[in-house]
Amino acid sequence: MNETALTYRRFKQGDHRYDDLTDLIFKAGKSGKCPTYLHRTPPCQGACPSGHDVRGWMNIIRGIEKPAAGQSWQEAAFWKIAEASPFPALMGRTCPALCETKCNRNDVDDHVGINSIEHYVGDWALAKGLKFPKPAKETGKKVAVVGGGPAGLSCAYQLRKRGHTTVVFEANAQLGGMLRYGLSAHRCPRDLVDAEIGRLLEMGIEVRANTRVGKDVTLEALETEFDAIFWGIGAWSGNPVPVPGWDKAANCVDGLAYLRAYNEGRLQYLTGRTLIIGGGNTAMDCAGVSRRLGQVKGKIDPKLLPERVVAGEVEHPETPVSARGAADVWIVYRRPFAAAPADQHEKDAVIDEGVEIHESLAPVEVILGADGRAKAFKVIKADWSTGKMVTIPGSEFEIECDLIVAATGQSSIFTGIEALDNGKGLVTADGFYQVAGKPGHFVGGDAIYPDLLTTAVGHGWKAAEGIDKYVRSLDMDKRAKVDAHRFDMEKDLSERGQAPTAYDHVPTRATDAAAFAIHNYADRSDVEVISSSQMFVGHFPMTPRFVRTVNKIGADCVGDRRTRLNALTEEQVLAEAKRCMSCGLCLECDNCVIYCPQKAVFRVAKEKRTPGRYVETDYDKCIGCHICKDVCPTGYIHMGLGK
C-alpha cells in the first residue's frame, strides 16, 4: 500500500517506541486498568441535521444487526431510517450529505456513500409499497401543523406516530413546500414527492389545503381548537439584491417565486439573457431551470414577459420544445465560484448544462431602460486574494440582460400572524423549538433560519418531541449535546428479552456476573463524537467507494426533466455498507479475541449477543496489557476500570 496515500495514521513509518507512557501506564506489560466498552456517536450522526442513526442502518445492511424474522435487510434498514426521516427516496437525491463530509473513513481513503445508500433504500421501499402504520393508541390530544413542507410534514409524522390527532394547514393546493414548489423536478421528481407524502397521509393525518393561517383562519381560532401548534411556514419571500434600481424594475425577480412559476407550469420560456445572482443551491436550481425552459423563438407578446408570469399576473400557454431554443443563462457571483456554498455536483451539473459562470463580480446597480425594465446589471470586479472582498477601482462594467433572478437569501411571510415575527423576518425559538414567549407554539425549518431540507426534517422531529411532552404536561428535559437518534443498549436488550433485572439494593462487590447491571459498558453517545484518532484505522484496507452514476444532461437540455443521479445496485449497496467503520460501537471483527495474550476476552454466547455485546472480558485473567484497546478498529474498547 502506498503510505503517502493515507491521510491519517496513528504511527508513522519507522516509529518503534512510545514517546509518552503516561496514558498507557504500562509496567512490565501490565497495568491496573482493564477494558470497558465505551459507546460514542460516530461523526456522521453527529453532523446529520436530521439526526439519522447512520451507523445503525449500516450495521443492518452489513449483517451485524439482524432484521426481524421474515424481514429483508432492505425493510429493516428502511424502518431504521424512518425513525429520523419519512423521506429517504427524496433526501437520498437532494441532501448535501454533511454526514459524508464528517465521515471518519475520509481519513483512510474516501467517505462511505451514505446518501447513495439512503437513495437505494428509499426507492426500494416505494417499489415494495411499504406503509407507515397508524398509531396503536390515540392520545386524544390535537395538534395543528401550519405548513406542509419538510418541517411541517416531519413534525406531523412524528406526532402521529405518538398517537396525537394531527391537522396540517397548507396555503397551497398541494403539500410539499420546497420539495414541490422550490426544488426543480430534475432534482426532486414529483412522483416521488407524491408517493412519500401519500404514505404519510395514510397514517391518518388530516390536511386542510388552500388554507392560509392569518387570512382564512385566525391564530386565535387555532389556539382555541388545538392543544399545541407547530409553525412550519418556511421562508417564501426572497431577499432583493441591495443595489439601486432593483426595486424599480419588474424584471428583477425573486428566485423562489421564479422556481415556483416553473414548478407550477406557468412559466414556459424565457425571452433573452437571464442572470442568476447567487451561489447557493437555489441559484443552481434557478440556473438549471432556466436552461430547461429555453428561449422562445420569434416575437414576444409584451403581456407574456417572464416577469409577469413570475408575479402571477398571467400564465404562458403550453409551448412545445420545438418552439424554444437554448437560453443564454449566466450565474453572477461575488466570490470565486469554487467558494460557492452549493453542492459540488450541482455546480458541476449547471456548467455541463451550458450555464456561464461569471465569478468575483460584486453587484453595483440595476440599469433601467426607457421602458422602466432592467436592461443591464452593473458589476465591479472583486479581488479575494486576501480572503476578504476588495473591489478593484475602475473595473465596473455592465452586463446586458432581459431578466435578473435573485437567489441571495429569504425570509418568512407573516401576514395575519405578525406576532410571530422577531423583527428580522424569522421566528425565534428556544432550545425545545418552542416559540420564544409563546408556550404551546413550536417552530421549525426555514422560519427559524433558511437552511437545508434535512435541517427542516430534523427541526420537525425535535419540535414533535417537545410538543409531545407539552401536551402531556411533562417536563421538557434539556436536549442532548449530541442531538441525534442513537443506539440504545438498554432498549435493544429489552426488545430481545435480555433487559437487566431490577436491582435488589443488596451491597455487591462486582457486577460482572450480576443480572441487574449492563456490565463494563458506558454510554457517552449523548455527549461525545468519536474521532479517527481514537480508532485503529490501520485495520481498514483502502477500498474504492461505489459512486452513483450521473446522467450527463448536457447543453441540449430544453424541456429535459430527467433526474441527474442514478441509484446504486443492491450488490453495490451491500459492498458500500461494508466500508462503514462502525465508529464508536463494536464491529464484531474478533481482533480483541485473537490478540489477547491471556485469552481474557471471549465471545458472548450466540443466543445472548446483541449489537455492542459481542465480547466480554474475564477480569480474573486480564492483566491490563492494553492490546485489545490498541487493536480495536472502532475505538469501542477503553481502558477505564481498575485504579
User: Rounded to 10 degrees, what is the CA torsion of 193, 194, 195, 201?
Assistant: 110
The pLDDT score that the predictor gives to residue 185 is 86
Instruction: Please report the domains of the chain, with CATH numbers, ordered by start residue.
Output: 3-129+485-639 (no CATH), 142-236+412-471 (3.50.50.60), 255-407 (3.50.50.60)
Sheet holding 142-146, edge to edge: 206-208, 165-169, 142-146, 228-231, 441-443
| CA-closest candidate to residue 331, choices 383, 282, 278, 377 | 278
- Side-chain-facing half-sphere of 63: CA atoms under 13 Å: 6
Sheet holding 356-358, edge to edge: 252-254, 403-406, 274-277, 329-332, 356-358
Its sign, for the CA torsion 226, 151, 120, 584, is negative
* Contact yes or no for 467/256 (Cβ under 8 A): no
- Per-residue pLDDT tens digits for 580-617: 999 999 999 999 999 999 999 999 988 888 888 899 88
The pLDDT score that the predictor gives to residue 3 is 47
Percent with pLDDT over 70 in the chain: 95
| CA-closest candidate to residue 226, choices 149, 177, 172, 164 | 164
- Per-residue pLDDT tens digits for 394-433: 999 999 999 999 999 888 999 999 999 999 999 999 999 9
C-alpha cell at 265: 407550469
The pLDDT score that the predictor gives to residue 561 is 86
The pLDDT score that the predictor gives to residue 297 is 85
DSSP reduced 3-state for 37: strand
Q: Is the pLDDT of residue 24 over 70?
A: no
Average pLDDT of the segment spanning 323-334? 96
Model confidence at 8, pLDDT cuts 50, 70, 90, reads: low
- Per-residue pLDDT tens digits for 43-54: 999 999 999 999
Percent with pLDDT over 90 in the chain: 77
CA distances from 517 to 92, 493, 503, 511, 584 (A): 40, 12, 8, 6, 21
- Per-residue pLDDT tens digits for 285-315: 999 999 999 999 888 899 999 999 999 999 9
d(CA 421, CA 432): 18
Place of cell 414548478: 263
What type of residue is 441?
A: H
Model confidence at 116, pLDDT cuts 50, 70, 90, reads: very high
What rounded mean pLDDT belongs to the chain?
Answer: 92
CA distances from 56 to 170, 250, 395, 525, 613 (A): 34, 52, 55, 13, 15
> What residues pair up with 324 in beta bridges, in sequence order?
296
Q: Is the pLDDT of residue 162 over 70?
A: yes
d(CA 451, CA 99): 16
DSSP reduced 3-state for 359: coil
Average pLDDT of the segment spanning 480-499? 87
Average pLDDT of the segment spanning 526-532? 95
**What is the DSSP track for 109-157?**
SS---HHHHHHHHHHHHHHTT--PPPPSS----EEEEE--SHHHHHHHH
The pLDDT score that the predictor gives to residue 6 is 55
Q: Which stretches does DSSP call E strand in 401-448?
A: 403-406, 410-411, 441-443
